[in-house]
Structure 1
Amino acid sequence: MTEGLAFGATLPAWLLYPATLAILLVLCVRLWRVPSVIAAFACFALAFRYLASAHHTFTFSASPIGLSWNALGSSAIFLLGLVLIRSRHLLLKQLVPCYLLIAIVVLSGLANHTIPKIIDVGVKFGYLVIMTISVYEGLQSLGEKRMTNLLLWAFITPLGFQALSILFHIVKASEGDGSVSYIGGYNHEAAFSIVLATGLVIACFANGMPLWRRSLLLIVFMGGIVAANYRTAILAFAPLIVTQFNLDIIGRFSPRQRSIIGIAVLALSAVAVLGIAWVFRERFQDVATVLESVDDLIKPQAEYTIEQKQLLSARPYIWSAYIEAYINGTLRNHVVGFGPDAWIGTMSVYAHNTLISAIYEYGILGVVVFCALWATMFYTALRTPAGVRGRLIAAHLSFLLLNMATMPHWMLEGDILYGVLCGYTLYMLRRSADQKAHDRREGGLEAKGRQAGATMGVLARPRPNILKP
């Protein structure tokens, strides 16, 4: 059965509801067996959002109090998480930029008299904090192997629905070039691709999983992202994918062989990347065009030609409207922006770039705080153990690239992705600190043992008879 190529087309009811019921039964059985409440909550938060988004024809509609059912559900998850997490973890210093970001949202909303939007946007960033802490605590409670395996269960919803959309050819037209997206009846390929990217990140960190199984999962998630046909996600997560497969191959050899093998693997990776780029050259040809003519694209919208408006799905054209509006704003707008979600009703579409959106909505202060947040987490990743540091750096880099052509922080799916990534980063930093403290204690005890042994040796040594002639 084929659905039309309409925006946000859902799966047909005869397919959607039985699949939802089956998924709910599987998730309930799995979560019931989890010994940690906070770990179960982290998995539930992912699964709830992914199921709710699949039923967007209902969940995106307004409730009797005005908010959408999706917003009400997300607020309930946020409040539940706030109750379940350990309050002392709210004081983790790496979360300070998140609180500054919420403060900027409040300040901008008050300054621009857009108070109703403060709660909606504030909850999104609060959700990021809750997800970070719940994943962090879940990893501490269950350990890396069991926690990552648990979180992967949440992705039976998007992967299952996408498989159904492929099987029954339920597609969505995503571009003017005739290409289509298989997104399992979700509302938009951007959010759906970010969901699959979250699964990809978790699979990369599932170190306790057999190599063949993790490789299969990575291939499934990568294939899903390609089938969703969202170029931004494909390009953004290329660094993580290349890094992961290189490390998996190199890690199978002894330390003495890794330098030679590493060079060979990197060479093969470069050839593979060039080959993939050649296969998808028509899909990404306007990327090269934009890179070659950046200077010519920095201008007001009125000066864009028809061909320039179509480049990168009109992103440069969209960005120019936001930048021009910011430049023409008042001093207040330059400092704190036009207010949270001020683009709604003013611009035709959202900015498709986190920093450009931030400078329009929250002014220069917003840009500074966003950069501080990313820099803080990136610096934290640099301090993690060597065995996981490469993957973490690549994952943070991929998320940063994602923000340059879409707005994951504007979607709860994006905040979930970053929350999972940040929670894992904080956990690895904590584990590294605990290991160093343990090594110092062991070293101190060993030194004391040697000193005590030496002292006992002196005491046990026979004393010379000084009275002997």
Structure 2
Amino acid sequence: MIDIVKVLVFILLAVYAHKWMWANACGKSTRVVFWVILIRFILASFPNITYPQLIGPFSLVSLYSIFVVGFIFLFFLSNHIEIKKDTNLLFIGLILTLMVFAAVINSHYIQSVASLVKWLMLLQLTNLVFNAVKEDGAVKVLQTIGFSYLYPIIMLVASVVLGVSKATENDGSTSYVGGFNHEAVFSVIILSGMFMFILKAALERRFSLLFLHIGTLFVLLFLVNYRTSILACLGLFATAGLMVFLKSSMVKKVAILFLGFLAITVVANIDSSSIAERFAEIPQALASASSFTVLPEFFDSDERRFFSGRIFFWASYIHEALNGSVSQIWFGHGMDSWKGFFEKYAHNTFVSFFYEVGFVGLFLLLVFFTSLTVKAFKGENWLAKILLVGAISAFIILNVATMPLWQIEGVIFLSILIALIDSNKKIAIKQNNKSMT
């Protein structure tokens, strides 16, 4: 039943969005962004068909990613689109170069292809969204991208109505994932999709709609029930709230503190033992940071399961990275080299980067995120700035406990964020207002 709903929702959204884009004279780049994202989502929502290997080691979704990289390259050439000169794109290029170097020194070529395609996609999608915002303004682009994200959001609601759920890998509690494969990926989609609506409402200064979207985001994430994304969402609004608090008057400071206290009280009294137990592990996990220095073989069975196994995974990756050759310590074992050696992926982008591309790769990733955050702080539109800084904080939190850059859905979110941060200038906001009148 839910598969039929997927097809119907896709067709209706595609037709409506197509008509809307033509009626509002959206540029070619904006239309390409919409179709790239929507088709990815429809493919991801049929995991039994699109995730198994189809041709050699490649699945339908991986072939689609390769197609997107090639198509966007040809699109740039045929439309004479200039590559954006941006510091963050330079870091992406350096990371890509390091990935190739790590593959060469470890003779790890085929296994590195998937990661190289993802980072190439990040580079090209960012340029594509840059150009879309330049042509149509941030508001129109956000509206168009929002149509793409309506598909998974509607499917989440449909899965609740139809009672289609799955048990999480951690404790068997219920997750609604709209027919998608995994709550980790799906929660990133919901978080990024609702952020598009929140930022659009902020740019249009429609505050009642802004708060409605914020409330909707929390409800949807609790339905998906993936702890890391809920924490990232809290990080987004905690960062934004702190920035507002520091700039506000004393009366507003008191109001913000009261609302914060009220929110903490509500969350603390949620009547759900499974949720309470899962979040209770977080302070314990922070207190267990010294476990990284313990050899993985000394972890007992309970410690290996603690925090969904993350502490054990991180310790295992770090120790193996440090036990490599000198060149591997500096430049890593190669992208996706964990496959066939470790049972599961690292559940931490920074730890994974340290193992796969060494100290140099970890340094570049840290500088990349720092540069992006600093640039977000320099935005002209104050409300957009606090939300974009919050979004970067949320994305970094995601990378600490899972790996959104290992997912195409996370790559899409980051590419949009990079372009929006660059567009947060007075001239871009004026273009937005003009385009919507």
Normalising by structure 1, what TM-score? 0.83
Equivalent residue letter for 1:234? I
State the number of aligned residues: 420
Q: 1:399, CA displacement in angstroms?
A: 0.9
- Give the superposition deviation at 1:248: 9.4
Aligned partners of 1:250 and 1:261 also within 8 Å: no
Partner of 1:106 in structure 2?
A: 100
Of 414-423 and 56-65, deviating more is: 56-65
**Aligned counterpart, 1:422:** 418
Cα distance in 2 between the residues matched to 1:89 and 1:124? 18
What corresponds to 1:364 in structure 2?
A: 359
Counterpart CA distance in 1 for 2:145 and 2:178 is 20
* Map of 2:399 onto structure 1: 403
Q: What is the identity, as a one-letter code, of the residue corresponding to 2:318?
A: I
CA-atom RMSD in angstroms: 2.7
**Corresponding residue for residue 272 of structure 1:** 263
Matches of 1:73 and 1:125 in 2, distance apart? 14
Q: How far apart in 2 are the matches of 1:25 and 1:250?
A: 45
- Displacement of 1:216 in angstroms is 2.5
What is the TM-score of this pair, normalised by structure 2? 0.88
2-side partners of 1:195 and 1:140: how far apart? 25
Q: Retained in 2: the 8 A contact 1:337–1:362?
A: yes
Match of 2:143 in 1: 149
Q: Which residue, 56, 59, 62 being the options, matches 1:71?
A: 62
Match of 1:179 in 2: 173
Distance verdict in 2 for CA 1:147–1:247, change over 3 Å: farther
CA distance in 2, matches of 1:67, 1:296: 37
Q: Does structure 2 conserve the Cα–Cα contact (< 8 Å) formed by 1:199 and 1:221?
A: no
Q: Which 10-residue stretch deviates more, 79-88 or 367-376? A: 79-88
Unpaired stretches in structure 2, ≥5 consecutive residues:
432-437
Partner of 1:341: 336
Taking the aligned partners of 1:243 and 1:294, their CA distance within structure 2 comes to 24
| 2:368 matched residue in structure 1 | 373
Secondary structure of 1:205 counterpart: helix
Deviation at 1:219, TM superposition (A): 2.4
Number of the residue aligned with 2:72 = 81
Correspondence 1:21 to 2:17:
no
Is the contact made by 2:168 and 2:175 (CA closer than 8 Å) also made in structure 1?
yes
Task: Evaluate the alpha carbon distance shift between residue 126 and residue 430 of structure 1 in structure 2; reply closer, same or farther with a 3 A threshold.
Answer: farther
Kindly tell me: are residues 390 and 42 of structure 1, through their superposed partners in 2, closer, same or farther at Cα, counting changes over 3 Å? same
1:263 matched to which residue of 2? 254
SS at match of 1:344: coil
Deviation at 1:201, TM superposition (A): 2.3
**By how many angstroms is 1:14 displaced?**
4.0
Deviation at 1:278, TM superposition (A): 4.2
- Alpha-carbon spacing, 1:61–1:296, altered in 2? closer, same or farther (3 Å): closer
d(CA) in 2 for partners of 1:215, 1:115: 48
1:82 Cα offset (Å): 2.4
Shift in Å, 1:333: 1.2
Work out whether residues 299 and 320 of structure 1, in 8 Å CA contact, stay in contact via their aligned partners in 2. Answer: yes
Q: 2:231 aligns with which of 218, 222, 235?
A: 235
Sequence identity percentage: 22
User: What is the match of residue 390 of structure 1?
Assistant: 386
Q: Distance in 2 between matches of 1:37 and 1:209?
A: 27
- Return the offset for 1:242: 4.2
Q: Offset at 1:406?
A: 0.6
Partner SS for 1:88: coil
Aligned-partner Cα distance in 2 for 1:153–1:266:
35
Cα distance, 1:186–1:295 mapped onto 2, change above 3 Å: same
Counterpart of 1:117? 111
Residues in 2 aligned to 1:212 and 1:243: alpha-carbon distance in whole angstroms: 20
Larger radius of gyration: 1
Contact 2:45–2:180 (CA under 8 A) maintained in structure 1? yes
Q: Counterpart of 1:351? A: 346
Unaligned runs of 5+ in 1: 1-10, 252-256, 436-469
Matched, 1:162 2:159: no
Once the two structures are TM-superposed, the CA of residue 319 in structure 1 deviates from its matched residue by 0.9
CA change 1:393–1:114 in 2 (3 A) is: same
With over 3 angstroms needed to count, the CA separation of the structure-2 counterparts of 1:250 and 1:293, relative to structure 1, is closer
Write the distance in 2 (CA, Å) between the matches of 1:426 and 1:414. 19
